Structure 1
Amino acid sequence: MTLFVVAIGGALGACTRFAVIQWFARTARPFYIATFVVNSVGSFLMGMALHLLESSVAFAFLALGFLGAFTTFSTFAFDAVRLMRTSRLQALVYVLLTMVISFGCIVLGFKIR
């Protein structure tokens, strides 16, 4: 049962991430901004889920499934490599900001009661 719940959450999270990335692409923002926003928001929600969800099924659906697929390290890494081709400094700033902001967001989300 838990595997099915994680799979459904993961499918919904991946589709939501795709929709957000497509929306950002239509607004002519740089390609890496969408991934940065998705990872920051997802980290904040993951922090909240860590202490708000009592049910293991709800945690499996939201945290492991939906947010696990919504946030994405591989796309972040891919975007950093693409950005490195044009500006190593921008790529470094992107990587550092993503790490610091995502970590800060998960801590902030966890502390909100």
Structure 2
Amino acid sequence: MDGRLVLLVGLGGAIGSILRYLITEIIPSNQMPYGTITVNLLGSMLLGIMFGAIAADAIINQDYVLLFGTGLLGAFTTMSAFAMDTVTLTENEISTTFIYVIITIVGSLGLAWSGYKIGFSLFS
């Protein structure tokens, strides 16, 4: 195992988790966790762009993939917060929970796909 690569992932993870914290603090979340929605949708789009570029044979150094993809975006997006937000929301309003789950899942998949297509077309 290459310690330098582990440090790159850790550095990216530290930056990603700090960015996630800042965004979820800045964006108000009254009855809907808008901060978590934002980071998951944005992160899905950015990761899609990165992998679209890779699929288009763009020369992207493995270090950058580990730093930004695995580290930064891996820590920036958050499945655990999505899961806990969903559990918490079910205690109050089922319709809000349903909307949250649909926006997050369909939106994340749609933006990852769109990002992939954008990245592929930009770099092919």
Q: Same fold (TM over 0.5)?
A: yes
Question: Which sections of structure 1, spanning at least 5 residues, go unmatched?
Answer: none
Partner of 2:16: 13
Residue 71 of structure 1: aligned partner: 77
Which of 69, 79, 86 is 1:80 aligned to?
A: 86
Cα distance in structure 2, aligned partners of 1:16 and 1:39? 12
Identity %: 32
In the TM superposition, what is the alpha-carbon distance from 1:90 to its structure 2 partner? 1.3
Aligned to 2:27: 24
- Counterpart for residue 51 of structure 1: 52
Give me the whole-angstrom Cα distance separating, in 1, the residues matched to 2:115 and 2:97: 26
1:75 counterpart letter in structure 2: A
The one-letter code sitting in structure 2 at the alignment partner of 1:47 is G
Task: Tell me the equivalent position of 2:117.
Answer: 111
Give aligned pairs, total: 111
Let me know the Cα RMSD of the aligned residues.
1.4
Q: Which residue of 1 aligns with 2:6?
A: 3
The AA in structure 1 aligned to 2:13 is G
Please state which structure has a larger fraction of its residues in helix.
Answer: 1
What's the offset of the Cα at 1:17?
A: 0.3
1:36-47 counterparts in 2 under 5 A? 36-47=37-48
Whole-angstrom distance in 2 between the partners of 1:73 and 1:50: 20
Cα deviation code 1:21-80 (max 9, x no counterpart): 11013xx65451110011000000000111335211100000100000000000011111
- Partner of 1:99 in structure 2? 105
Corresponding residue SS for 2:91: helix
Q: CA deviation at 1:100?
A: 0.3
1:60 corresponding residue in structure 2 = 66
Amino acid at match of 1:52: A
The list of structure 1 runs, each at least 4 consecutive aligned residues, that deviate by more than 6 angstroms after superposition, is: none
Q: Larger radius of gyration, structure 1 or 2?
A: 2
Distance 1:48 1:101, change over 3 A: same
Question: Which residue identity does 2:38 align to in structure 1?
Answer: V
